[in-house]
């Protein structure tokens, strides 16, 4: 999929912005040559997820799982474990965003709003954001409580999915530009957009769980990185730096603050911890649209435009890589972004609302002692 590094709508999913921009095809020709780009990607993911590997395939495991990208030059030790589980079902009574119903997963509403000024939410809309963000926090905390060695990321996806529909909400990632799962799970060197699969979490891993819910026409988005059992000191340092960089950025948020200034606070925190800040993905506006303006970069000397005003709602979600390399590479699934040097990455995200006097963290959770206290 083509990479769009300077889009104002969606640097969070920058590699996928230019995918699926054509009209939906009601009766598609299923030959790859006649499919739109996003439909090709959907077919590729589907074929990978459902194919049966040859018995003599060196990438097949004794338990029947397999690595579908065996010849790919992975940068770290992590490998995908397929087949993926089937697409999870959302009951018909649950309201869903436009892309959930489209074969290409195209968020047409986002495309129609591209280039428009940042939305100022009414009091009624702000209250809806508070509600969906509270629900999203509940789901993330429940999913996090199940993290332990031996649990698969697909099992975490099932938990997130079930807890989401229990709240009569839709898991926003499901079918977003054909993403096949209800949550993103990013382990160790995976920066973001990891696809839940059959790999079991191991003692010493770190895992990011990125949850977004759609409820009453609005999206709420947050993520955190967690240790799996006991982790090494570098992983602790990385996670704490990622959390601190977000906390320091939030302190700047108030009416009149410039979006471009957030990176000036985030990057020094990262460097002091021996980390670098990912530049390919950024925070974003959020409300009735999953992703919209403003664009919120996390690195210093960026060119983001815009001033914070009461009623604006957006995410800040710095991704920190251990070491000096901020660049990345993508796995052949066209979603999973991993560090170029194979070292670990950590991320934290909150959805924020600018108020008349400052900022409200709509997705705020309980203070984690592993991130703050010795």
Cα–Cα dist 176/180, whole Å: 8
197 labelled as ligand-binding?
A: no
**At 337, is the secondary structure helix, strand, or coil?**
strand
Within its chain, how far is the Cα of 354 from the centroid? 22
221 labelled as ligand-binding?
A: yes
349 labelled as ligand-binding?
A: yes
H-helix or E-strand spanning residue 124: helix 123-144
216 labelled as ligand-binding?
A: no
Q: Rounded to the nearest 10 degrees, what angle do helices 153-166 and 123-144 cross at?
A: 140
Note whether 259 and 304 are within 8 A (CB): yes
Note whether 78 and 187 are within 8 A (CB): yes
Cα–Cα dist 41/178, whole Å: 8
Closest by Cα among 183, 282, 163, 171 to 219: 171
Query: Which residues partner with 218 through β-bridges?
Result: 215
Report the C-alpha dihedral over residues 108, 110, 112, 116, rounded to 10 degrees: 180
Closest by Cα among 215, 228, 232, 196 to 336: 196
* Contacts for 126-130: CB closer than 8 Å, 24+ residues apart: 126/311, 126/313, 126/353, 128/216, 128/217, 128/218, 129/218, 129/220, 129/287, 129/313, 129/351, 129/353, 129/362, 130/353, 130/362
Burial class (CB in 10 A: 0-12, 13-18, 19+), 176: buried
Q: Which two tokens stand for residue 277?
A: 């800040």
Q: Rounded to the nearest 10 degrees, what angle do helices 262-272 and 233-252 cross at?
A: 160
193 labelled as ligand-binding?
A: yes
**Cα torsion angle, 129, 143, 222, 246, sign:** positive
Annotated binding site for substrate: 193, 291
Annotated binding site for a divalent metal cation: 210, 221, 284, 317, 349
Annotated binding site: 193, 210, 221, 284, 291, 317, 349
């Amino acid at each position: 999929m083509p990479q769009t590094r300077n889009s104002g709508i969606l640097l969070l999913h920058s590699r996928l912005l230019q995918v699926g921009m054509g009209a939906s095809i009601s009766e598609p020709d299923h030959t790859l040559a006649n499919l739109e780009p996003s439909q090709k990607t959907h077919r590729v993911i589907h074929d990978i997820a459902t194919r049966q590997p040859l018995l003599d395939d060196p990438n097949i495991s004794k338990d029947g799982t397999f690595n579908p990208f065996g010849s790919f030059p992975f940068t770290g030790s992590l490998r995908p474990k397929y087949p993926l589980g089937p697409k999870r079902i959302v009951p018909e009574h649950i309201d869903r965003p436009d892309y959930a119903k489209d074969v290409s997963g195209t968020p047409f509403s986002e495309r129609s709003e591209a280039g428009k000024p940042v939305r100022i939410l009414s009091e009624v809309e702000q209250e809806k954001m508070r509600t969906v963000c509270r629900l999203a926090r509940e789901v993330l905390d429940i999913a996090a409580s199940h993290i332990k060695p031996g649990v698969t990321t697909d099992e975490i996806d099932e938990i997130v999915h079930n807890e989401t529909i229990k709240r009569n909400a839709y898991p926003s990632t499901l079918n977003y530009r054909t993403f096949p799962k209800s949550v993103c799970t990013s382990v160790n060197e995976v920066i973001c957009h990891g696809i839940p699969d059959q790999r079991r979490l191991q003692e010493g891993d770190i895992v990011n769980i990125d949850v977004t819910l759609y409820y009453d026409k609005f999206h709420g988005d947050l993520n955190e990185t967690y240790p799996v059992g006991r982790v090494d000191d570098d992983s602790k340092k990385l996670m704490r730096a990622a959390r601190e960089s977000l906390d320091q950025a939030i302190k700047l948020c108030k009416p009149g603050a410039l979006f471009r200034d957030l990176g000036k606070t985030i990057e020094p925190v990262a460097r002091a911890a021996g980390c670098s800040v990912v530049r390919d993905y950024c925070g974003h506006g959020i409300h009735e649209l999953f992703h919209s303006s403003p664009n919120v970069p996390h690195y210093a000397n960026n060119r983001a435009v815009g001033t914070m005003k009461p009623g604006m709602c957006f995410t800040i979600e710095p991704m920190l890589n251990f070491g000096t390399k901020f660049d990345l590479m993508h796995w052949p699934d066209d979603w999973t972004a991993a560090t170029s040097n194979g070292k670990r990455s950590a991320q934290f995200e909150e959805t924020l609302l600018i108020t008349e006097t400052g900022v409200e963290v709509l997705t705020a959770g309980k203070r984690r002692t592993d991130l703050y206290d010795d």
